[in-house]
Amino acid sequence: MEREQNPQRLKETLLNLGVPLATVGLFFIASLGAFSKKSRKEIYERDGGKSARSGKRGKLHAAHIDHTRNENYDKPSNGRLLTVREHYQDHYNRHGRNGLTTGGNRWALGKLWDLLTGKERKGLKPPDSID
């Protein structure tokens, strides 16, 4: 039986452990866009542990196809494995058409940009260049 998630209890636990409030806040903001552990596992198994776009292995993200919050949001059919670079490109190329607000997509682009190494950034436009 799966335990019920209690975000408020987790937040209180993190604060009681001395984790700074700003860090706890970022954790909860970042977790809003993530698939559940079960869905990530199903996506990984379905895609064979490689990017659905390039076939590359390594550091992969379970990336949403549609970020609209509805009954399909956490379903594996709404996701695919992408490298961080591909995930960034997807957010950049589908800006305004991926179910996120402009601000939400800009935030996601910034977070993904921070995960890219200098070599991985080569040839990409930075997040602040999006119109």
pLDDT, tens digit, 9 for 90 and up, residues 36-80 = 989 999 999 999 999 999 999 988 999 999 998 889 999 999 999
95: tokens are 């800006």
Quote the pLDDT of residue 8: 62
Is residue 88 within 8 A of residue 102, CB to CB? The reply is no
Q: Rounded to two decimals, what is the model's pTM? A: 0.74
Beta-ladder partners of 63: 80
What average pLDDT does this structure show over 81-108? Answer: 92
Quote the pLDDT of residue 114: 92
Question: From CA 11, how far away is CA 71, in angstroms rounded?
Answer: 25
Is residue 76 within 8 A of residue 39, CB to CB? The reply is yes
Question: From CA 68, how far away is CA 8, in angstroms rounded?
Answer: 24
50: tokens are 């490689």
What percentage of the chain reaches a pLDDT higher than 70? 75
What average pLDDT does this structure show over 119-126? Answer: 95
Quote the pLDDT of residue 26: 42
Question: From CA 106, how far away is CA 100, in angstroms rounded?
Answer: 9
19: tokens are 């984790």
What percentage of the chain reaches a pLDDT higher than 90? 58
Give the DSSP letter of residue 40: H
Question: From CA 62, how far away is CA 49, in angstroms rounded?
Answer: 10
